[in-house]
Amino acid sequence: MGPTPGSSDSSAGLGRRFGALFYDSFVLLGMLFIAALPLPWFDQITEGGLSGLWIKRVYLLSVCFGYFGGFWVHGGQTLGMKAWRIRVIRLDGCRLGWIDALKRFFGLCLSTVTLGLGFFWALTNTERSTWQDALSQTCVLWCPGPSKGTLPPSNS
């Protein structure tokens, strides 16, 4: 039987979540570097005004959402989550939709802005749920793979 949503024994721990987020930060940093190339163009269009600043912020946040949301909706795992063998699903066991991903991303931003308070919330409850889990009605499961010493059966 596979992991079930909401059971604390299959929920991903805080270390795995931070590990995946650390890996994802490198991928996202590269994406943001490329995405930032047209930002001087925004300054020219808005003549360096306040509207240009907000356009740039919304643009970069949408790039971040595109990364996280796209992976959450299509497979339930970002690249960092794949490396740490964790997966996000809804509490009813279904895959996330775009609205779920948006709620989860808002919770992730909220957790980050509060210097990790939303992440450390997982230490206070038995479900190990963070703010983004609670806001989007999702859970992050640990999906253990085969042990390192085992090899797949041979074809001969």
pTM of the model: 0.84
CA 87/CA 16 separation, integer angstroms: 11
pLDDT-derived band at 3 (thresholds 50, 70, 90) equals very low
Strands (E) located in the chain: 86-90, 138-142
Which residues touch 153 (CB under 8 Å, ≥6 apart)?
A: none
* C-alpha dihedral (131, 28, 3, 15), degrees to nearest 10: -70
**C-beta of residue 85 within 8 angstroms of C-beta of residue 145:** yes
**C-beta of residue 119 within 8 angstroms of C-beta of residue 130:** yes
Domain locations in the chain? 14-142
One-letter identity of residue 47: E
pLDDT-derived band at 156 (thresholds 50, 70, 90) equals very low
pLDDT, tens digit, 9 for 90 and up, residues 52-93:
888 899 999 999 999 999 999 999 999 999 999 999 999 999
